[in-house]
Amino acid sequence: MENPTTELFHRLIRRNRGKSVVKTPYLQEGNTEVNDPDEQRECFLKYFEDLAIPKDNGYDEKYLELCTIRHKLITEFCNSSDDPLEPFTEMEIQNGIKHLHTGKATDEFEICSEQLKASGDILLPKQPSKLAFKHQCKSAIQKTWTNILVAESVKKSTLKYINTKDLAVGKPHIIWKSLRSMVSEVKMGITKARMLTGTFMTQVIKHKYNIEHSDQICKLCTIYSEDLMHIILDCPALFSTRQIYYNRLKIEVINVIGESKWSELFGNKDAILLLILDCTNFSKYFSVDQQNAITKLSSVLCHQLYLMRLKLLEKTAKVPNKQCGSDTCK
Read off the DSSP letter of residue 126.
-
Residue 215: CB minimum distance to Zn ion, A:
13
How many CA atoms lie within 13 Å of 253's alpha carbon, on the beta-carbon side? 27
Residue 213 falls in which region: left (phi positive, over 0), alpha (psi -120 to 50) or beta: left
Closest approach, Cβ 327 to Zn ion, in A, equals 13
Beta carbon nearer to Zn ion, 218 or 305: 218
Contact between 297 and Zn ion by CB under 5 A: the answer reads no
CB of 148 to Zn ion, least distance (A): 38
Q: State yes or no: residue 307 binds Zn ion (CB under 5 A).
A: no
Residue among 52 and 319 whose Cβ is closer to Zn ion: 319
Alpha carbons 4 and 12: distance in angstroms, whole number: 11
235 binds Zn ion (CB under 5 A): yes
- Which region holds residue 170: left if phi is over 0, alpha if psi is between -120 and 50, else beta? left
Distance CA 83, CA 280 (A): 48
Amino acid at 189: G
Contacts of 317 (CB under 8 A, 6+ apart): 324, 325, 326, 327
Shortest distance, CB of residue 174 to Zn ion, whole angstroms? 29
Is residue 220 close enough to count as binding Zn ion by CB under 5 A? yes
One-letter amino acid identity for 296?
A: K
Task: Return the number of the residue (149 or 233) whose C-beta is nearest Zn ion.
Answer: 233
**Residue 314: CB minimum distance to Zn ion, A:** 16
Determine if 179 is a binding residue for Zn ion (CB under 5 A): no
305 binds Zn ion (CB under 5 A): no
Give yes or no for residue 308 binding Zn ion (CB under 5 A): no
| Segment interacting with Zn ion, rule: CB under 5 A, options 9-17, 174-182, 217-225, 296-304 | 217-225
By CB under 5 A, name the one of 221, 229, 265, 307 that touches Zn ion.
221
Binds Zn ion (CB under 5 A): choice among 12, 196, 204, 218 = 218
Is 200 or 286 the residue whose CB approaches Zn ion more closely?
200
Could you tell me the sign of the dihedral formed by the alpha carbons of 252, 257, 259, 265, in that order?
negative
Please tell me whether residue 29 adopts helix, strand or coil conformation.
strand
Whether 245 and 216 have beta carbons less than 8 Å apart is answered as no
CB of 203 to Zn ion, least distance (A): 9
Site membership for Zn ion, residue 253 (CB under 5 A): no
Coil, strand, or helix at residue 27?
A: strand
Give min distance, CB of 206 to Zn ion, in A.
14
Q: Which is nearer to Zn ion, 131 or 319 (CB)?
A: 319
* Least distance CB 232 / Zn ion (angstroms): 11
- Measured between alpha carbons, how far is 32 from 66 in angstroms, rounded to an integer? 43
User: What phi-psi label fits residue 325: left (phi over 0), alpha (psi between -120 and 50 degrees) or beta?
Assistant: left
Contact indicator for 228, 298 with CB cutoff of 8 Å: no
For Zn ion, which is the closer residue by CB, 90 or 227? 227
Residue 217 DSSP class: B
Q: Is 279 in the site for Zn ion (CB under 5 A)?
A: no
Nearer to Zn ion, 221 or 329 (CB): 221
Give CA separation, 116 vs 113, 126, 197, 260, 329, in Å.
Answer: 5, 16, 60, 73, 71
Contact stretch for Zn ion (CB under 5 A) within 103-111, 132-140, 231-239, 294-302: 231-239
Q: Which CB, 238 or 297, lies closer to Zn ion?
A: 238
Residue numbers of the site for Zn ion (CB under 5 A)?
218, 220-221, 235
